[in-house]
Amino acid sequence: MTLRLFCLIAAALLWTSCGAEREHTGVWQQVCDEAAPSPCGDFVYELHLGRYGSKTSGLVVRYHFEDVSLDPYQRSDECGCFFVEGGRADDEGIAFALHRADEPGRPETDFRFPDACGPAGVPPPDCVGRRFELSEVDGELEGSSRCGSDTTPIRFRKVAGRPRRACELPE
């Protein structure tokens, strides 16, 4: 009886530090298989998110996409990196925009983007004001990517790994 009481109290104390406010934190990759809501275009996105209560921060890495049968999330296929701004979060999902979408960041100072990324290896700017609005459905984030009046359905799947903190990777 005493042991049970002790465990209950200990569990109650520990529970106070394990709330839902960290949900959505992690690495999410855009899904491009046949079940995806729409076919992927030239680029796919990888979200590196951190949720802190009702706010979200992080960065979005864009990769060049060629074939559904290949893994597009390779460093060599990276095609721009953008910070998150205006991120909001609740139990239903998250929403955020890209900060300085016209100035894609690169993983290293002398990183050469793949040719397919853009002319002469220069990554094209993303849509200024691009906004993601995503809800969690069965462990995946599903929603839309909006650019002006253009709205594209999009879906992300969580993958293992710690979120990347900066566009430039530590050496």
Partner 1 sequence: MRAALTFWLALAVGGGATVALAAPAPSDALRLHRGLGPDFERPRVRVYPLLDQTALANPRGERSNPAAWDAFVAALAGRTNLAVQDPEATRRSITRRAGYAQALRLARSTAERARDDHRRARLEAALAGLRTAIHALQEIEHHVVAPPEVARLLLLQGQAQLELRDAQGARDSFERALTLAPDVRLQPGTDSPAAVEALEATRHNLAEKPPIPEDHLRVPTGLRSTQHLLRARQVGDVLIVTVQSAGGLREEQQALAGLTAAEAGDRLASRVWACLPFGRAPRRSRHKRELLLDAGFHYQVFANSPVVDLFSNLGIGMNASLTVAPHLSLDANLALTNSNRDPNEDLRQDISTVRVFLGPGFTWSAGFLRGGANLGFEGMTISDVVTTRNVHCKFDPDAHPLCNAAADTSRSGRAWRLGPALALNGQLHLVEGIYLALRISAGLTLYESVDNGLGPPITGQLGLGYAFD
Beta carbon nearer to partner 1, 3 or 160: 3
Of the candidate spans 68-76, 117-125, 135-143, 161-169, the one that interacts with partner 1 by CB under 8 A turns out to be: 161-169
Q: CB atoms < 10 A from the CB of 95, how many?
A: 19
Beta carbon nearer to partner 1, 55 or 106: 55
Do residues 62 and 126 lie in contact, with contact meaning Cβ atoms separated by under 8 Å? yes
Of 118, 119, 24, 110, give the one whose Cα is nearest residue 62: 118
Residue 88 pairs in a beta bridge with 55, 95
Place of tokens 């465990």: 7
Beta carbon nearer to partner 1, 100 or 112: 100
Beta carbon nearer to partner 1, 116 or 166: 166
Of the candidate spans 35-43, 80-88, 115-123, 129-137, the one that interacts with partner 1 by CB under 8 A turns out to be: 80-88
Q: Which of 40, 47, 94, 167 binds partner 1 (CB under 8 A)?
A: 167
Contact status: 83 vs partner 1 (CB under 8 A): yes
Residue 29 pairs in a beta bridge with 46, 157
| Count of residues in the chain | 171
Contact status: 122 vs partner 1 (CB under 8 A): no
Beta carbons within 8 Å of 138's beta carbon, 6+ residues apart: none
CA distance 105 to 6: 52
**What is the x/- site pattern for partner 1, positions 8-47, by CB under 8 A?**
-xx--xx-xx-x-x--------------------------
Residue 109, phi then psi, degrees to nearest 5: -60, -45
CA distance 5 to 97: 48
Contact status: 58 vs partner 1 (CB under 8 A): yes
Contact status: 168 vs partner 1 (CB under 8 A): yes
Instruction: Kindly list the residues in this chain that would bind partner 1 in the complex (CB under 8 A).
Output: 2, 6, 9-10, 13-14, 16-17, 19, 21, 50, 52-58, 83-85, 87, 99-100, 163, 165-168
